[in-house]
Amino acid sequence: MNKKNNVFFLNKKNYSNKIYLDSNENLELSIIDIIKDDVYVDLDIYLLNNSTFHLVVSSLNDNFDKTFNINVHHQGNQSTSICEVFGINKNHSSTKFYLQAYIKDDSKDNYCEQKIRGVLLSDHAEIQGKPNLIIDTNNIKAKHALAIGRLNLAHLFYLQNKGIKKSDAIKLLLLSYFNVILYKIEDEHSRERLMERIFSEIGDIS
Give tens-digit pLDDT for 156-172.
Answer: 999 999 999 998 899 89
pLDDT at 79: 95
What are the residues whose beta carbons fall under 8 Å from the beta carbon of 196, sequence distance 6 or more?
none
pTM, rounded to two decimals = 0.91
Going from N- to C-terminal start, the domains of the chain cover 6-151
CA 1 to chain centre: 24
Distance CA 84, CA 63 (A): 23
Q: What share of the chain is helix, strand, coil (3-state, %, to 5)?
A: 20, 50, 30
Flag whether pLDDT at 2 surpasses 60.
no
pLDDT at 190: 87
pLDDT 10s digits, 3-45 = 577 888 898 899 999 999 999 999 999 999 999 999 999 999 9
The residue length of the chain stands at 206
Residue from 67, 124, 118 nearest 96 by CA: 67
Whether the Cβ atoms of residue 50 and residue 81 lie closer than 8 Å to each other = no
pLDDT at 57: 97
pLDDT at 1: 43
